A = this chain, B = another copy of it.
Amino acid sequence: MELSLFNILDVLGTIAFAISGALAAMERRLDIFGVFIIAFVTAIGGGTLRDTLIGYTPVTWMENTIYVYLIGFVTILAIIFRDKINYLKKSLFLFDTIGLGIFTITGVEIGIQNNLAPIITIALGAMTATFGGVIRDILCNEIPVIFRKEIYATACLLGALAFVVLHDLGVERDIIYLVTSIIVIGIRLVVVKYHLVLPYFYIPSENEEKAD
């Protein structure tokens, strides 16, 4: 039962990130094949890194073909309904944020199942959630969204922290999943709406004169 809820979430996160990747690729005017690649990489990137680092190989999407078919199907829908989806303002942002919330949960869950230490489990949750977007941005030769001041990964870390704490307290999975996703998605929505930023500590570069 828990496993099945986990699988449902993993599928939902994959759908959300595939849509977000497809939209990003269409915005960048990639050809149809580029759209499929970016959708695929965005959707499976985080889980692939997670599986590789903990040594769960062949990685999940290789063992379970449903992911590849699902991403292909979702990408086709995203292409067909691209005008409609885009009409929803900030839809790329929205799907990306939903994916973040869900993949934080699946990453932490895998960490707990592998008996990793809490701090590592939290890091694994944040990496699973954010890495797909990082690869997407690197492939598009952009500065990864993770550094673009939207408290992107901080939201995942806080959600993952809540998961680990609630898990220690013996709370039921359904409730933990709900709280974690609300925290991640809520923080990101609030942060973007109110333009909140984290503080930064600037060191003037020695090359400043040369570089600027």
Q: A-side interface residues toward B, CB under 8 Å? A: 23, 26-27, 29-35, 37, 48, 52-55, 57-59, 61-62, 65, 68-69, 79, 82-83, 86, 89-90, 114, 116-117, 119-120, 123-124, 134, 138-144, 146-147, 149, 151, 153-154, 197-206
Contact of A200 among B30, B197, B199 (CB under 8 A): B30
Assembled-state Cα–Cα distance A68/B58 (Å): 25
In chain B, what residue has the closest Cβ to A51? Answer: B53
**Most chain-B CB neighbours within 10 Å: which of A23, A30, A144, A204?**
A30
Q: Which residues of B contact A139 (CB under 8 A)?
A: 134, 138, 144, 146-147
**Nearest-CB distance from A83 to chain B (Å)?**
8
Structural contact, B151 and A27, CB atoms closer than 8 A: no
**Nearest-CB distance from A125 to chain B (Å)?**
13
Given contacts A53-B59, A141-B142, A200-B29, contact A34 B147 (CB under 8 A): yes
In chain B, what residue has the closest Cβ to A147? Answer: B34
